[in-house]
Amino acid sequence: MKNIGFFYAFVLLSVLSAISMFISSTLTPFLSPLIIGILLGSILSPFYPKLNRVYHLQKGMDFSAKKLLRLGIVLYGSFITLNELTTLGFKGFLLALIVVAVVFVSAIFIGRALKLDREISLLVGIGSAVCGAAAILALESTLKSSPSKSSVALGFIVIFGLIGMVILPVVYYSGLLPFSDYQWGIFIGGSLHEVANVVGAAAISPESQSVALLVKMTRVVLLVPLLLIISYLIFASSDSKQKGTLYIPYFAFGFLGVILLNSFIDFPPFIVESTQFASKLLLVFAMVALGLQIDWQKFISFGAKTFILALVLFIILLCGTYFLVYFMF
Calculate the alpha carbon distances from 39 to 94, 127, 202 in Å: 34, 16, 25
- Most confident by average pLDDT, 87-91, 237-241, 296-300: 87-91
Helix (H/G/I), strand (E/B), else coil: 96: helix
Helix axes 269-292, 147-174, angle to 10 degrees: 120
Buried b (16+ CB within 10 A) or exposed e, 45-65: beebeeebeebbbbebbebbb
**Its pTM surpasses 0.75:** yes
- Any domain includes 71: no
Number of domains in the chain: 1
Residue 70, CA distances (Å) to 48, 63, 137, 313 in order: 23, 10, 9, 26
Q: How many residues in the chain?
A: 329
Give me the pLDDT at residue 211, please. 92
Task: Note the pLDDT of residue 241.
Answer: 44
Residue 312 lies in a domain: yes
> What percent of the chain is predicted at pLDDT more than 70?
96
Question: Please, what sign has the CA dihedral across residues 159, 165, 171, 173?
Answer: negative
Whether residue 19 is contained in a domain is answered as no
Q: What residues have CB less than 8 Å from 263, skipping those under 6 apart?
A: 81, 82, 83
The whole-number average pLDDT for the span 46-58 is 91
Residue 56 lies in a domain: no
Residue 308 lies in a domain: yes
- Given pLDDT bands bounded at 50, 70 and 90, which one contains residue 30? low
Query: pLDDT tens for residues 134-192?
Result: 889 888 888 877 777 888 888 888 889 888 988 999 999 999 998 999 999 999 999 99
Q: Give 248's pLDDT tier (boundaries 50, 70, 90).
A: low
Q: Is residue 182 part of a domain?
A: yes
* Sequence-ordered list of residues with C-beta below 8 angstroms from that of 54, at least 6 positions apart, any chain: none
Does position 267 have pLDDT exceeding 90, yes or no?
yes
Tell me the average pLDDT across 278-298.
86
User: Side-chain half-sphere of 139: how many Cα atoms within 13 Å?
Assistant: 35
More confident residue, 64 or 321: 321
> Do the domain assignments include residue 63?
no
pLDDT at 84: 83
Q: Tens of pLDDT along 59-100?
A: 999 898 788 988 998 998 998 888 888 888 899 999 999 999
User: Which range of residues forms the domain containing residue 116?
Assistant: 80-278+298-328
Give the separation between CA 64 and CA 48, rounded to whole angstroms: 15
240 compared with 222, residue with greater pLDDT: 222
Task: Please report the pLDDT score of residue 291 as a whole number.
Answer: 84
Output DSSP code: residue 76: G
Q: Which amino acid is at 103?
A: V
Start-to-end CA span in the chain (Å): 61
Task: Name 224's Cβ contacts closer than 8 Å, sequence gap at least 6.
Answer: 252, 253, 255, 256
Amino acid, res. 168: L
Cα separation values, 240 from 25, 26, 118, 165, 235, Å: 49, 52, 19, 45, 9
